[in-house]
Amino acid sequence: MKALVYHGPGKKQLDEMPKPALREATDAIVRMTRTTICGTDLHILKGDVATVAAGRILGHEGTGVIDEVGAGVSHFRKGDRVLISCITACGKCDYCRRGMPSHCESGGWILGNTIDGTQAEFVRIPFADTSLYPIPATVDEDAMVMLSDILPTGYECGVLNGAVKPGDTVALVGAGPVGLSALLTMQFFTPAKIIVIDLDDNRLEVAKKFGATATINSTDGKAVEKVMAMTDGKGVDVAIEAVGVAATFELCQEIIGAGGHIANIGVHGTGVTLHLEKLWSQNITITTRLVDAVTTPLLLKTVVAGKLKPLQLITHHFALKDILKAYDTFGNAGRERALKVILTND
Amino acid sequence: MKALVYHGPGKKQLDEMPKPALREATDAIVRMTRTTICGTDLHILKGDVATVAAGRILGHEGTGVIDEVGAGVSHFRKGDRVLISCITACGKCDYCRRGMPSHCESGGWILGNTIDGTQAEFVRIPFADTSLYPIPATVDEDAMVMLSDILPTGYECGVLNGAVKPGDTVALVGAGPVGLSALLTMQFFTPAKIIVIDLDDNRLEVAKKFGATATINSTDGKAVEKVMAMTDGKGVDVAIEAVGVAATFELCQEIIGAGGHIANIGVHGTGVTLHLEKLWSQNITITTRLVDAVTTPLLLKTVVAGKLKPLQLITHHFALKDILKAYDTFGNAGRERALKVILTND
Amino acid sequence: MKALVYHGPGKKQLDEMPKPALREATDAIVRMTRTTICGTDLHILKGDVATVAAGRILGHEGTGVIDEVGAGVSHFRKGDRVLISCITACGKCDYCRRGMPSHCESGGWILGNTIDGTQAEFVRIPFADTSLYPIPATVDEDAMVMLSDILPTGYECGVLNGAVKPGDTVALVGAGPVGLSALLTMQFFTPAKIIVIDLDDNRLEVAKKFGATATINSTDGKAVEKVMAMTDGKGVDVAIEAVGVAATFELCQEIIGAGGHIANIGVHGTGVTLHLEKLWSQNITITTRLVDAVTTPLLLKTVVAGKLKPLQLITHHFALKDILKAYDTFGNAGRERALKVILTND
Amino acid sequence: MKALVYHGPGKKQLDEMPKPALREATDAIVRMTRTTICGTDLHILKGDVATVAAGRILGHEGTGVIDEVGAGVSHFRKGDRVLISCITACGKCDYCRRGMPSHCESGGWILGNTIDGTQAEFVRIPFADTSLYPIPATVDEDAMVMLSDILPTGYECGVLNGAVKPGDTVALVGAGPVGLSALLTMQFFTPAKIIVIDLDDNRLEVAKKFGATATINSTDGKAVEKVMAMTDGKGVDVAIEAVGVAATFELCQEIIGAGGHIANIGVHGTGVTLHLEKLWSQNITITTRLVDAVTTPLLLKTVVAGKLKPLQLITHHFALKDILKAYDTFGNAGRERALKVILTND
C-alpha cells in the first residue's frame, strides 16, 4: 500500500509499504478514506519529536472503513464507516478511567508517533472499541476528519480548560487551525466578547467570519494596550494560548484579569517566565493539556445538530497519492491561505 | 493609644497614637484584645511592600470588642466580641459578589497596608458588617486569631485551589505557619498520603504531629528523587507551594503527576521558569490566589465542632506592650521554634 | 401617586397612594418608568399567596430613575437609571453570602409581597446597593424589564439547575413567559435538541421561532411516546418543568433519561407523586429553586453583546394609568396571544 | 461446586451446580474465597426483584483468585487475588464512558440477578478487566469484601450525591449496613455535625462509635422537632435516605434546610409524595443513584492508608457451606445485632 513515511529530519517520501495486519485481539484494520496533515506532523519532519523513529508512517487523523477486526472487538465490524481518534485509549487503565486517555498506559498519542499512522491506505488501530467512533449516515465525511484532533483539542485544552462562561470576555492568541477550533467551540458557551490576536491579517479576517467580535494584529506590539482598552483596564476572563512560543504566553499573562484563566494549547519547545511576582495575588488559573479526545461524542452531536460546522476549517483537497503536494501547501499555510487540507482515498 | 508603627525600611516603634474614629457609616471601631504578627509584616519591615507608607500602624489579624459602630452597621453593636478578617469586603462590588473580595474595589487587603492595622489598642474596620465575624461564646479567643488570615490562606489558596480529594497524594512544600495551616485543613478531605518537604527538621517534626504521613528534609537536594520513589514514579496529585521562592516552585513542577494541581500560596518577589516544554502535555493546573477569607464561617464551624484545632499553631504569648520582643521572637522563628505568637491586650 | 393596590381576593384598584419615603439608610426611592405584570401577580389576586395583605401595592419588576437615596447607599445617586431586581438582597447574611439571596434573612422576594411593589409611580427599594443595577446607556429599557425576574428565573431555576450542556437533548414543559425565558437562555449552552411541550399551538409556534428544534402539543396524551421516539427510547438529558401542576411534573419523570436532570421552575400548589419505585436506580437529579437573581449582571452582559434579545418576549404596551386593561390582556394570555406586557410611565 | 440457589419466592438451597466456564474473550472465572449477603438478596428471596429467575445463583459481592481468563483479558492472570465489583462494566458503551456503568448497556448490576452470582465456589465475571480490582498484599481480605458494594454505595449515592462539605450538618436516616457505610465515608469531608436517625437503639449505638455526633431514635415521632432544635430551626445541609420507605423520605423533606441536598440511597417499592407545594421555593436538590462503583480505586486507597476501616462493618463469620445459617443470622439482623456477615471458602 501507499504511505507517507518519515525518513529522518527533513525527509519524507510516499513509499510502498506492507499492509498492516492485526496483532492483538482488540485491534482493527481500517481502510483509510480521508486523512489530513497536522502542525505536529511538520514538527516531526523538523526532527523536533524525539519519539518518532525513521521509517514511521505519519498521521493521526482521518476516517475510513473497517477492513478487519480482532476477536476482542465487539462494537465494530467489517464495512463500518469510522472516525479515528488521535488518542488511542485502552479504556482500562487508571488514566482512561479518570477521563485522561492522553496518558493511557498503553495508548495515548501513539498513531504516527510510536506506531504507524493514518497517512496511508490502511492503518492498524489498537483498542478499536475505545479509539474509533461510528460515523452517522447523514454527516459529511470531510467534516468528521476535523473531529479526529483539532476540534477536540481546541475544545478540551482551550475552551473547557479555560472554563469559558456566558458573558465572558475571551482572548484567543493565535488563529491557526487549532486556535480557530477553539474559536468555533467557545461559542457553545456564549461569551460576550471574543478578541482574537494574531500576526496574520488573513487569519484575523477568517476569525471575524468565525465569530470574533474584535481582532488585533499584534505586529505593532500594542496588543496589551488594546486589550486593556477593550476591557476597561480589567483584562480578560479567559486567555487561550494557541501558538506555543514564549512571547504569546507572556502576552496571556499581561492581559489576564484577576480571577481569570489562562488555557495553554500550544506545544512549547522551551520554558517560559511565569510572572509570579505579579500573578501570585491575582487568583489566576493556568492549565495545560494534551487532548484526551473524550468529548468526541459530544462534538459529533453538535455537528449532527448543525451547531458546529467543521467544513469551514477545510481550505484544500488532494488525493492521497498527491500528499507531497498537500504537505507543500500546508507547510506554506500563510502564502497559501491554508487551514486544513483533506486527503482523499476513495 | 499604643500601636506598632512602621517608620520606613528596618524601622518600627511602639508609639503613642491617636485613637481611631469612625469615618463612614459602615465603619466600626474595635478595641483589640488579641493580635499577632504575620510573615507579611516582616516583609513590610524590610521595605518590600511598596504600598505601605511610613507612619502606618501594622497588623491585619486579631480579635476584639466592638467599641462603636457607624449608622450603616446593622449586624454588630457595642460590646460584641468579634474576629477581624484580614480581608476587608464591601460586599457590593463585582469582585465581592463573585466571591473574590481579595480584589474588592474599595477593600481587599488594606489593614496594616493602606490603612492603619490591628497591632494597636484600637482599630477602625471599614465595611464592618462584611469584614467582621461574631465570636461564639464557647471558642477560645486565641484560636480565633488563627482564623483572621493563616487558616483561610492555607485552606483557600492551598487546599481548595489544589482541589485535594479523598485518596490523593499531596506534597506540601514549606512547613511555616501558613504551610502548616494548609496541612491541618487539607485533612478535611482525607488525602491518603501527605508528604511535607522543608529544610528545617524542627518544622518537619511539627508537621508529623500535625498529620504528615512522610517528611523530607530537602537540604540534600534529593527531594524529587524521594517523592518519585514514594509515588511509584508517578508524582503527586497535588503540590502546594508555601514558601515563595523560585526553587520551591521548581520543585513543585518536578514532582507533579500528570493531571495534577500546583497550588501556589507563597508570596513571590521574582518570576520563575515555567517548564512548558515538559508540562504542556501533562494536563496540569496551576493556581495563584490572594486569600479571599470567604471560608471563615466554614472554618469557624469546624473549630466549634472540634475538627480543626488552631491552638496548636500558637507557640508564644506576649502582652501587646511587649510587641517588640514578640517581633524579635517571630523574626527568629527557626532559632525560637516559633510558629504563631499571640499578643494580648485584656 | 398612582398605584395598583390589592384589596383582597379578586379585588384590585388603581388607587391614589402616598409617595413612599426612605426608612433605612440603605434604602433608595425609585421613580418607576417601566413595570410589568407577572403570573405571580395573578396568583396573588386569586388569594393564593397568604403573605400578601390587603392594601399592598403589587409588582416586583421594572426600571426607573433614582429619586432619593439613604446615607448608607454608596453605588447609586439621584438621577441614575436603574433596573430593579425582584429579589431584595441585604448582601450580608449567610444566605446572601452563599449566593442564595432568595432566602435573604431580611430580603428575598418582598416587593409587592410583604412590602409595597413596583406597579406604582414610585417605590422604596431596601438594600439598594445590592438590589438595583445600573442600566447601560445603549440598552433598550423595555428589554431591561425582562431582567427583573423572568430571564433570571428561566436561566437559574431551569437552565443552570438543569445543568444544560453542549450536545444535550432538553425537554421544556411549558412555553409561557418563564418557560420561554428558559428556552432563550438554554441556548447559551448549545444543546443539540430542544423539545418544547405545551397545550397551546400559538405558544409552540413562538417556541419554534425562539429556537425549539421540535414541538409537541400534549393535548392528545402522547407526549411521552413522542419524546421517547425522538430520543431512541433513552429519554432526555434535561427536563425543565415550567408550569407548576402535578401532570407536568409527572411528564418530566416519564421522559427523563438515566443520569438526567429535572429542573423545576413551576410554582406548585400541591404535592406530586415522586416515582422512586422507578427512579431510585436511574441516577436522577431533581432541583427546585426560588430565583436568586444573582445572574442578572451576566444576563445584562449577554443583552449588551446582542446574544440575548429580551424584546421578543414583549407583546403588548400600556401606559401605567391603563394598568387595569393590561391586567385584562395578561390575564387572558391565550386569547390575546400575550407574553409580557410593558407598562410605561415616562 | 456448591452454590446458593434461588428457587422462587421464599425458597433457597445450597445446591451442587456445574462450575462456570468462559463464554466470551473478556470473561474471567474467579474461585471465590470470600462473599457476603446483601439486603438486596433478602428482597430477591421475597420475590420482589422481577429480573431474578428461579435457578439463579445469588450474590454480587466478594473476593477470590483468578482461575482462568479469556483471550481478551489483559490486566489479570491466573492466581491473581481480586475484588469483585457488584457492577459489571463493559468500559466501552456511552454510559461507561460517562462514568455511569450502573447503566452499562451490557453490564450494570447483573451478578446474582440476570447471571449467576458470587455465593458459590466459582463465578464467571464478564468484562473482567473493568469489573475486577487487584487486591494489594497488605490489605485484609475481609475488609475488601466491603468494597464490592456497600462502601461504594454509601459513598457514591449518599455522600457524593449529597455533596457533603466541611462544616456541614448532615442527617443520616437509617443506620443499616449501607447507611453506616455512608456514615463512615461522609467523614472524608469533615462535616461539623452528623445526626443519625433510626428506630433501633443498638444501631444508634454503633453509629455513635462510627462517628455520629448525635443520634435520634425516631420511634416517638419527634425526630423532625429534635433535628430542628439541633439546627436553630434551619434544617440540615444534607439528608441521606438509607431505608427505602415513604416515611423516611418524608422525614428527609421535613428536615432539609433551604439550599440543601436530599440523597436517596434506599431501594423504594412504591412512589412517595414530593412536597413541591413547600419545596418549590427552597432551592433543594434531590438525587437518586444505583451505585456505579467507580470510586472503588479511591476507596481502596483510603483503606490502604488506614483512613477507612471496613472491618468494623463485619459482625459475623461463617464457612460458605454454612451459608443457610448465615442467611438466618443476617435475616434477623436486629435480634442478632448483625451488620455484615462474611462467608469464607479457603
Q: What is the 3-state secondary structure (H, E, C) of chain A?
A: CEEEEECCCCCEEEEECCCCCCCCCCCEEEEEEEEECCHHHHHHHHCCCCCCCCCCECCCCEEEEEEEECCCCCCCCCCCEEEECCCECCCCCHHHHCCCHHHCCCCECCECCCECCCCECEEEECCHHHHEEECCCCCCHHHHHCCCCHHHHHHHHHHHHHCCCCCCEEEEECCCHHHHHHHHHHHHHCCCEEEEEECCHHHHHHHHHCCCCEEEEHHHCCHHHHHHHHCCCCCEEEEEECCCCHHHHHHHHHHEEEEEEEEECCCCCCCEEECHHHHCCCCCEEECCCCCCCCHHHHHHHHHCCCCCHHHHEEEEEEHHHHHHHHHHHHCHHHHCCCEEEEECC
Q: Say if the Cβ atoms of C268 and D276 lie within 8 Å.
A: yes
The CA distance from C327 to C164, in Å, is: 34
Query: 3-state class of C231 per DSSP?
Result: coil
Q: Say if the Cβ atoms of A297 and D94 lie within 8 Å.
A: yes
For the residues A229-235, what does the mean pLDDT come to?
Answer: 97
The CA distance from A16 to C75, in Å, is: 74
| D301 to chain B, closest Cα gap in Å | 5
Is residue D211 scored above 90 in pLDDT?
yes
Residues facing C118 on adjacent strands:
none
- Say yes or no: C130 contacts chain B, CB-CB below 8 A: yes
For the residues C147-152, what does the mean pLDDT come to?
Answer: 98
Residues facing B88 on adjacent strands:
B108
Query: What is the distance in angstroms between the CA of the first residue and the CA of the last residue of chain B?
Result: 14
Q: Say if the Cβ atoms of D92 and A99 lie within 8 Å.
A: no
| CA neighbor of D48 nearest in space, from C283, C277, C273 | C277
- Say yes or no: A36 contacts chain D, CB-CB below 8 A: no
Q: Which of C301, C303, C309 to mutate: most A Cβ within 10 Å?
A: C301
Contact residues, chain A, for B292 at CB < 8 Å? 283
Q: How many residues does chain C have?
A: 346
Is residue A203 scored above 90 in pLDDT?
yes
Contact residues, chain A, for B285 at CB < 8 Å? 285-287
The CA distance from D56 to A84, in Å, is: 42
Q: Is the dihedral of CA B296, B297, B300, B301 positive or negative?
A: negative
What are D255's three cell numbers? 428536615
Q: Say if the Cβ atoms of A305 and C188 lie within 8 Å.
A: no
ipTM of model: 0.97
The CA distance from A25 to B293, in Å, is: 56
Q: Is the dihedral of CA B153, B158, B161, B164 positive or negative?
A: negative
Q: Say if the Cβ atoms of C92 and B129 lie within 8 Å.
A: yes
How many Å is the Cα radius of gyration of chain B? 20
Is residue A346 scored above 90 in pLDDT?
no
Q: What is the pLDDT of residue D236?
A: 98
Angle at C279 between CA C274 and CA C281, to 5 degrees: 150
- Say yes or no: D72 contacts chain A, CB-CB below 8 A: yes
Enumerate the H helices of D93-192 as residue ranges. 94-97, 128-131, 141-145, 150-153, 161-162, 177-186
Query: 3-state class of D196 per DSSP?
Result: strand
| B49 to chain C, closest Cα gap in Å | 30
User: Average model confidence (pLDDT) for chain B?
Assistant: 97
Residues facing A26 on adjacent strands:
none
Contact residues, chain B, for D305 at CB < 8 Å? 167, 192-193, 213
The CA distance from A269 to A280, in Å, is: 25
What are C307's three cell numbers? 446574544
Residues facing D64 on adjacent strands:
D32, D82
Contact residues, chain D, for A130 at CB < 8 Å? 91-92
User: Average model confidence (pLDDT) for chain A?
Assistant: 97
Contact residues, chain C, for A152 at CB < 8 Å? none
Contact residues, chain D, for A92 at CB < 8 Å? 74-75, 91, 129-130
| A322 to chain B, closest Cα gap in Å | 32
Is residue B36 scored above 90 in pLDDT?
yes
Contact residues, chain B, for D299 at CB < 8 Å? 167
Contact residues, chain A, for D74 at CB < 8 Å? 90, 92
Q: Which of B190, B297, B304 is facing D188, going by the closest CB pair?
A: B190
The CA distance from D262 to C285, in Å, is: 10
Instruction: Write the pLDDT tens digit of every residue in B231-243.
Output: 999 999 999 999 9
The C-alpha torsion from A85 through A88 and A89 to A90, rounded to 10°, is 140
CB atoms within 10 A of CB A263: 28
| B32 to chain C, closest Cα gap in Å | 23
Residue that has been written with the C-alpha cell 489576564 in this structure: A256
Q: Which of D166, D304, D305 is facing B302, going by the closest CB pair?
A: D166
How many Å is the Cα radius of gyration of chain D? 20
Is residue B96 scored above 90 in pLDDT?
yes
- Say yes or no: B40 contacts chain A, CB-CB below 8 A: no
Q: Categorize the per-residue pLDDT at A125 as very low, low, confident or very high, splitting at 50, 70 and 90.
A: very high
Distances (CA, A) of D98 to A302, D101, D298: 17, 8, 18
- Say yes or no: B266 contacts chain A, CB-CB below 8 A: yes
DSSP summary character for residue C49: -
The CA distance from A334 to A66, in Å, is: 36
Is the distance from CB of D63 to CB of D141 less than 8 angstroms? yes
Cα C7 to the chain's mean position, in Å?
A: 24
The CA distance from C127 to C132, in Å, is: 8
Sequence-distant (≥ 6) Cβ neighbours of residue B95 within 8 angstroms: A258, A259, B101, B102, B103, B104, B105
Contact residues, chain C, for A301 at CB < 8 Å? 166-167, 192
Strands A285-287 and D62-69: unpaired
How many Å is the Cα radius of gyration of chain A? 20
Size of the A and D interface in Cβ pairs below 8 Å: 33
Q: What is the pLDDT of residue D346?
A: 83
Size of the A and C interface in Cβ pairs below 8 Å: 54
| D50 to chain C, closest Cα gap in Å | 13
Q: Which of A92, A93, A104, A292 to mutate: most D Cβ within 10 Å?
A: A92
Q: Say if the Cβ atoms of D305 and B187 lie within 8 Å.
A: no
Residue that has been written with the C-alpha cell 457488584 in this structure: D86
- Say yes or no: D75 contacts chain B, CB-CB below 8 A: no
φ/ψ of A46, rounded to 5, equals -75, -10
Largest CA distance in chain A: 62
Sequence-distant (≥ 6) Cβ neighbours of residue C233 within 8 angstroms: none
Instruction: Write the pLDDT tens digit of every residue in A129-177.
Output: 999 999 999 899 999 999 999 999 999 999 999 999 999 999 999 999 9
Size of the B and C interface in Cβ pairs below 8 Å: 33
Q: Which of B288, B290, B292, B294 to mutate: most A Cβ within 10 Å?
A: B288
Q: What is the pLDDT of residue A103?
A: 98
Q: Say if the Cβ atoms of B268 and A277 lie within 8 Å.
A: yes
Is the distance from CB of A138 to CB of A304 less than 8 angstroms? yes
Which H or E element spans position D296? helix D296-304
The CA distance from B175 to B168, in Å, is: 19
Q: What is the pLDDT of residue D153?
A: 98
Q: Say if the Cβ atoms of D130 and A91 lie within 8 Å.
A: yes
Cα C319 to the chain's mean position, in Å?
A: 22
The CA distance from B63 to B74, in Å, is: 19
For the residues D46-57, what does the mean pLDDT come to?
Answer: 94
User: Which subunits sit against D, judged by 3+ Cβ pairs under 8 A?
Assistant: A, B, C
- Say yes or no: C187 contacts chain A, CB-CB below 8 A: yes
Q: Say if the Cβ atoms of B71 and C297 lie within 8 Å.
A: no
For the residues A24-45, what does the mean pLDDT come to?
Answer: 96
Instruction: Write the pLDDT tens digit of every residue in D174-207.
Output: 999 999 999 999 999 999 999 999 999 999 999 9
Q: Decide: residue C325, CB within 10 A, 0-12 exposed, 13-18 middle, 19+ buried.
A: middle
- Say yes or no: B187 contacts chain D, CB-CB below 8 A: yes
Q: What is the pLDDT of residue D19?
A: 98
DSSP summary character for residue B79: T
Is the distance from CB of A197 to CB of A215 less than 8 angstroms? yes
Contact residues, chain C, for A304 at CB < 8 Å? 192
The CA distance from A170 to C33, in Å, is: 35
What are C57's three cell numbers? 401595592
Instruction: Write the pLDDT tens digit of every residue in C286-308.
Output: 999 999 999 999 999 999 999 99
Angle at D334 between CA D332 and CA D335, to 5 degrees: 70
For the residues B161-182, what does the mean pLDDT come to?
Answer: 98
Cβ under 8 Å to B: D residues 301-330: 301-302, 304-305, 307
Cβ under 8 Å to D: C residues 88-107: 95, 98, 100, 102-103
Q: Which of A213, A234, A301, A309 to mutate: most C Cβ within 10 Å?
A: A301
* pTM, to two decimals: 0.97
- Say yes or no: B221 contacts chain D, CB-CB below 8 A: no
The CA distance from C291 to A179, in Å, is: 37
Q: What is the pLDDT of residue B193?
A: 98
Q: Categorize the per-residue pLDDT at C346 as very low, low, confident or very high, splitting at 50, 70 and 90.
A: confident
CB atoms within 10 A of CB B79: 9
The CA distance from B242 to B257, in Å, is: 19
Is the distance from CB of C274 to CB of D287 less than 8 angstroms? no
What are C145's three cell numbers? 424589564
Q: Say if the Cβ atoms of B298 and D213 lie within 8 Å.
A: no
Residue that has been written with the C-alpha cell 473493568 in this structure: D130
Q: Which of D213, D298, D305 is facing B193, going by the closest CB pair?
A: D305
User: Which subunits sit against C, judged by 3+ Cβ pairs under 8 A?
Assistant: A, B, D
Query: 3-state class of D241 per DSSP?
Result: strand
Q: Say if the Cβ atoms of D288 and C276 lie within 8 Å.
A: yes
Q: Say if the Cβ atoms of C288 and D288 lie within 8 Å.
A: no
User: Average model confidence (pLDDT) for chain D?
Assistant: 97
The CA distance from A235 to D278, in Å, is: 44
Q: What is the pLDDT of residue B346?
A: 83
Sequence-distant (≥ 6) Cβ neighbours of residue D309 within 8 angstroms: D143, D184, D303
CB atoms within 10 A of CB C171: 30
| B241 to chain A, closest Cα gap in Å | 11
The CA distance from C341 to C61, in Å, is: 12
Instruction: Write the pLDDT tens digit of every residue in C173-210.
Output: 999 999 999 999 999 999 999 999 999 999 999 999 99
φ/ψ of A261, rounded to 5, equals -115, 130
